[in-house]
Structure 1
Amino acid sequence: MARSLARLSGRCRIASALGVGALAASLALAGCSSSSPKGGGTIPPLNTAGASNGSTAPASASGGASAGASGAASASAGAVTAESLSDPDLGYTVVSIPKDLDATQTKVLQDFIAYDKVTWRIWFGGGKDTTGIDKVATGLTLQRVINNASKMAGEGQHAQPPVRVSISEVVVYDNKTVAQVTMCVDQKQMKMIDSNGNDVTKPEHKIQVPSSTRMTNPDGKTWLATEGQRGQDGECSVE
């Protein structure tokens, strides 16, 4: 079973501090260029031998019970939908999720969304408060979020929503300790604001990129973001 993320083809680079892959993803992840075609699942999954894959067809973003996503999310009663995973108050919209996820894949998805929301709260808050990130991330990803939050706070900038995401695939491996979530992140309507309230948005902030996050399950209960990669602007679409 492969334990590292499959690499995107092309030239790899470390994402710049504010050239986010989504802002949340790129501040936490290493970035690579890709020659993949446009579409939802542009980043190849981990070696899928012995893996369980969710369908990449988007599910309806309507109905369903609300799923708690702060801190370490837990499987909630009722249907998990794109709408239930969204957070209008945060300015975070899940546009689509895979169909027919089993219980384990659903838990991975919920815990990934918990991680994604915490990181976006950090960027929207200008990196000043990293409360809760240690509950949803570990390893390299945790350290990168903390380091880049400190950098953002020092520069006196913060991101301004909205952000939209489309989850294309959730892969869980047979030992149930490693998983991968692949998505497309649309931050074309997002802005960067400086300490004086001025719009300092640059073209590299207003992007739509594919990203893939490795999740681990060290305690057998909670899935934590631990490693990731992203593609380039325009290599996927949120739909």
Structure 2
Amino acid sequence: MHTTPPHPSHHPRPKNRRLQAGLFALLLAASALTACTHNTNNATGIPTYDPEAMASAKASESAAAASASASAAASASAAGVVTAESLSTDRYEVTSIPEDLDEQQTEILKAFINYDQVTWNIWFTRTGVENAQPITTDEEYQYIKENFDSVGGGRTDGTVRVSIDSVNIASSYSTEIRAEIQLCDDQSDLVAYDLDGNDVSNPETLQGRYKKIVTMVLEDGTWKTAKEQALSANECTV
């Protein structure tokens, strides 16, 4: 749960990617050429500049680029590739993740992001604390619930921004497999309100940037959050 943190407490590219890029560039060039047209009333026969045609070509280029970007994102998602963008929501922005994560690290990262989004949504809406139970250890869930009960009603507005620095298996040889995720948690955009709509934000506890280590454990085949530890305040960046 997100409570007051204590102060200092590849995937190979397809071989035909370059060919596809070349063909795409040729298509854009052909589109731009339509901006210069022959004026049948021009005695010189020299192509004349048509502003409307050029504007149309520029619009076509922009639309084609946007379509290509969306297509690439959709292909990555279909292939199971995890990106910072694919992990983000309207109120929870992942700004960066480590490169070259293997399958197990990716699984751990996705489990953590799910946990973090679920628990932040509890704070955003002040509802649904029970949603944290399946994704946390018994001890961590009890800690979350006690904090939730003590906060009371209201809501939190704004967007959380998170930068994931590392995902590491802490122990793979003991009976309890653990992993650690190090991150920077930027809460500077958040504003807390009570039931009457009064701003009750405490800049010292809510609106900072916190460097954290989150411990995950593998229980019955599911990665669950066991503990959050704050390392510093207002020193990390996202």
What is the match of residue 177 of structure 2? 177
What is the match of residue 157 of structure 1? 154
Q: Tell me how far 1:152 sits from its aligned partner.
A: 1.6
Instruction: Tell me if the contact between 1:136 and 1:224 (Cα under 8 Å) persists in the aligned partners.
Output: yes
What SS does structure 2 have at the residue aligned with 1:209? strand
Gaps of 5+ in 2: 10-71
Name the CA distance, whole Å, in 2 between partners of 1:183 and 1:25: 14
Specify the code of the residue in structure 1 equivalent to 2:129: T
What is the match of residue 80 of structure 2? 78
Aligned-residue RMSD, C-alpha: 2.3
Name the CA distance, whole Å, in 1 between partners of 2:6 and 2:138: 17
Q: Tell me how far 1:131 sits from its aligned partner.
A: 3.0
Matches within 5 A, 1:43-192: 63=73, 77-88=79-90, 91-126=91-126, 128-153=127-152, 156-172=153-169, 173-175=171-173, 177-192=177-192
Give the alignment's TM-score, normalised by structure 2.
Answer: 0.66
Instruction: Tell me if the contact between 1:64 and 1:78 (Cα under 8 Å) persists in the aligned partners.
Output: no
What is the match of residue 25 of structure 1? 2
C-alpha spacing 1:160/1:225, structure 2 compared with 1 (3 Å): same
Identity among equivalent pairs (%)? 35
C-alpha spacing 1:65/1:84, structure 2 compared with 1 (3 Å): farther
Specify the code of the residue in structure 2 equivalent to 1:174: S
What SS does structure 1 have at the residue aligned with 2:222? coil
Give the alignment's TM-score, normalised by structure 1.
Answer: 0.66
Q: Tell me how far 1:229 sits from its aligned partner.
A: 0.5
What is the match of residue 194 of structure 2? 194
C-alpha spacing 1:165/1:66, structure 2 compared with 1 (3 Å): farther
Specify the code of the residue in structure 2 equivalent to 1:206: Q
Instruction: Tell me if the contact between 2:155 and 2:192 (Cα under 8 Å) persists in the aligned partners.
Output: yes
Greater helix share, 1 or 2?
Answer: 2
Q: Is the aligned partner of 1:207 residue 2:204?
A: no
Q: Tell me how far 1:77 sits from its aligned partner.
A: 4.7
What SS does structure 2 have at the residue aligned with 1:83? coil
Name the CA distance, whole Å, in 2 between partners of 1:161 and 1:135: 26
Gaps of 5+ in 1: 1-23, 35-61, 68-75
What SS does structure 2 have at the residue aligned with 1:210? strand
Specify the code of the residue in structure 2 equivalent to 1:211: K
Name the CA distance, whole Å, in 2 between partners of 1:141 and 1:32: 21
Specify the code of the residue in structure 2 equivalent to 1:84: S
What is the match of residue 230 of structure 2? 230
